[in-house]
Amino acid sequence: MDEHIAGRELDDQQGAAAQGQADELAGLVAEAARGDGQAWSELIERYGRRVYALAKSRLRDSDQAEEVAQAVFASVFQHVSTGRYTEHGQFEPWLFRIAMNRIRDQIRRDARRLRIDGRPVQTLAHESASPPTVGDPGQLRLAIESMSEADQEIISLRHQAGLEFKAIAELLNEPVGTLLARHHRALHKLRNLLSVDAKTGVSHD
Amino acid sequence: MINNTEHDLAMESALENLARSDRAEPDAAFEDRIWNTMQQLPEQRIAGRRRKKSTAWIPFVTLACVGLMGFIVWMPMLSVDMDNLDKVASAPEDDFSADFLLSSFDAMDMLISDADEIDQSLDFLELQIDANEFELATNSTWQDLGGSL
């Protein structure tokens, strides 16, 4: 009984903290909309590198990732400063939706260019000579790249962009439960791809 | 025995490390570059608006073109004096519109003056045709036709 009450109190505290963060973000966006440079700096500081990491994980190119990050913030700036964005507590999903759209556009452009050039697309994780391990970022990246589009999407939004499942659900218009299951399956596939003992970090073939 | 939750935690930890390294990848001026890109936008929008306003000349130029076309097409016609065709005849030779009008007037005059004669000729022809038809109807019998055969 005491545990149940303690659990409810913890949930209430977490809910209150989340609400406080949402209010703080809403205030920041409102100040940015009024043209406060400091508020914009804070938003860039908070989300710039997360957008970059998301773009880098999908595009595998640093320059393109930075271009996407700049384009996303330019678009956000245009919408917020001209009053075309109205704050309903969904700034984060909105910003990352813009980012995902930009990334998809870039992927389409790259695919078109590859078709024209006739170059090979990429080497996959299982083509690598050395056995893959969880601790090796390069191998992990290659393993992610060999996964399906949906799996890559959920992994990159959850980890590279650092979004909560609720925000991902709002972004993708899908139920949280579906996304949790997809994320779990994606981790399982990744683990199988890397064939690794998660506890010891020793790789198997 | 390691359960799936521990596997997931290890995998999530590895993914978090990867994300952290990705986020740390850009240099210190990364945020400044984003800020600079955003700062350049209003100027571009204003420049865009100015370019749009510069299209205001289009209706005026269109009107001027229409006026010029009207002048070119209608002015030769207006220069024809309808009361005195002799003056029209003295129009420059290279003025095609004036020539055309002049020839049209001549043709019209000829048609009008010859109209009575043509009418008389047509009446005469009709009378002759009627007389022949009547003669054929009264004189030609079946017997005449048989005799002729």
Same domain, A68 and A136: no
Question: Do B33 and A74 count as a contact with CB atoms less than 8 A apart?
Answer: no
Mean pLDDT of B36-53: 62
Which of A72, A91, A121 is the last residue before a domain boundary?
Answer: A121
Please report, for the domain that includes residue A70, its CATH number.
Answer: 1.10.1740.10
Which of A121, A142, A160 is the last residue before a domain boundary?
Answer: A121
For residue A100, give the nearest of A141, A129, A131, A71 by alpha carbon.
Answer: A71
Same domain, A72 and A111: yes
Give residue A71's pLDDT. 93
A 37-56: CB under 8 A from B: 40-41, 44-45, 48-50, 52-53, 56
Q: Is the distance from CB of A161 to CB of A50 less than 8 angstroms? A: yes
Number of A:B CB contacts under 8 A?
A: 97
Comparing B31 with B1, the larger pLDDT belongs to B31
Same domain, A138 and A113: no
Give residue A16's pLDDT. 65
Task: State which residue of chain B sits closest to A41, comparing Cα positions.
Answer: B35
Give residue A114's pLDDT. 74
Which one of B19, B25, B37 has the shortest CB-CB distance to A74? B37
Same domain, A45 and A140: no
Same domain, A54 and A10: yes
Question: Do B8 and A56 count as a contact with CB atoms less than 8 A apart?
Answer: no
* Chain B residues with CB-CB distance to A48 below 8 A: 30-31, 34
Mean pLDDT of B110-115: 71
A194 Cα to chain B: minimum distance (Å): 10
Q: Does B34 reach chain A within 8 Å, measured CB to CB?
A: yes
Mean pLDDT of B137-141: 62
Mean pLDDT of B87-93: 52
Average pLDDT, rounded, for chain B: 73
Report CA-CA distances (Å) from B51 to A118, A130, B45, B48.
40, 58, 10, 5
Same domain, A96 and A15: yes
Give residue A14's pLDDT. 60
Same domain, A16 and A112: yes
Task: State which residue of chain A sits closest to B33, comparing Cα positions.
Answer: A70
For residue A55, give the nearest of A45, A66, A65 by alpha carbon.
Answer: A65
Instruction: Tally Cβ neighbours within 10 Å of residue A23.
Output: 11
Same domain, A128 and A117: no
Domain that holds residue A40: 1-121
Same domain, A83 and A42: yes
Q: Does B14 reach chain A within 8 Å, measured CB to CB?
A: yes
d(CA A126, CA A184): 21
Which of A121, A154, A169 is the last residue before a domain boundary?
Answer: A121
Mean pLDDT of B85-98: 55
Same domain, A78 and A100: yes
Task: State which residue of chain B sits closest to A45, comparing Cα positions.
Answer: B31
Q: Which residues contact B15 (CB under 8 A, 6 or more apart)?
A: A140, A155, A158, A159
Same domain, A116 and A175: no
Which one of A56, A78, A187 has the shortest CB-CB distance to B41? A78
Report CA-CA distances (Å) from A99 to A47, A196, B15.
11, 32, 20
Residue with tokens 């690794």, as numbered in its chain: A196
Report CA-CA distances (Å) from A184 to A57, A166, A170, B7.
19, 15, 19, 11
- Which span out of A79-93, A151-165, B42-56, B120-134 was modeled with the highest average pLDDT? A151-165
Give residue B144's pLDDT. 61
Mean pLDDT by 10 residues, chain A (205 residues): 54 64 84 88 93 91 92 91 79 92 90 67 44 67 88 92 91 92 91 64 43
For residue A76, give the nearest of A63, A56, A92 by alpha carbon.
Answer: A92
Count of structural domains, chain A: 2
Comparing A91 with B46, the larger pLDDT belongs to A91
On the question of pLDDT at B1 being above 60, the answer is: no
Mean pLDDT of B92-100: 58
Query: Which residues make beta-bridge pairs with A41?
Result: none
Same domain, A3 and A64: yes
pLDDT confidence band for B11 (50 / 70 / 90): confident
On the question of pLDDT at B68 being above 60, the answer is: yes
Mutation site for A-interface testing, chosen from B17, B23, B25, B36 by largest number of A Cβ within 10 Å: B23
B67 Cα to chain A: minimum distance (Å): 43
Instruction: Tally Cβ neighbours within 10 Å of residue B14.
Output: 24
pTM: predicted TM-score of the whole model, two decimal places: 0.59
Instruction: Tally Cβ neighbours within 10 Å of residue A104.
Output: 13
d(CA B118, CA B110): 12
Task: State which residue of chain B sits closest to A39, comparing Cα positions.
Answer: B35
On the question of pLDDT at B75 being above 80, the answer is: no
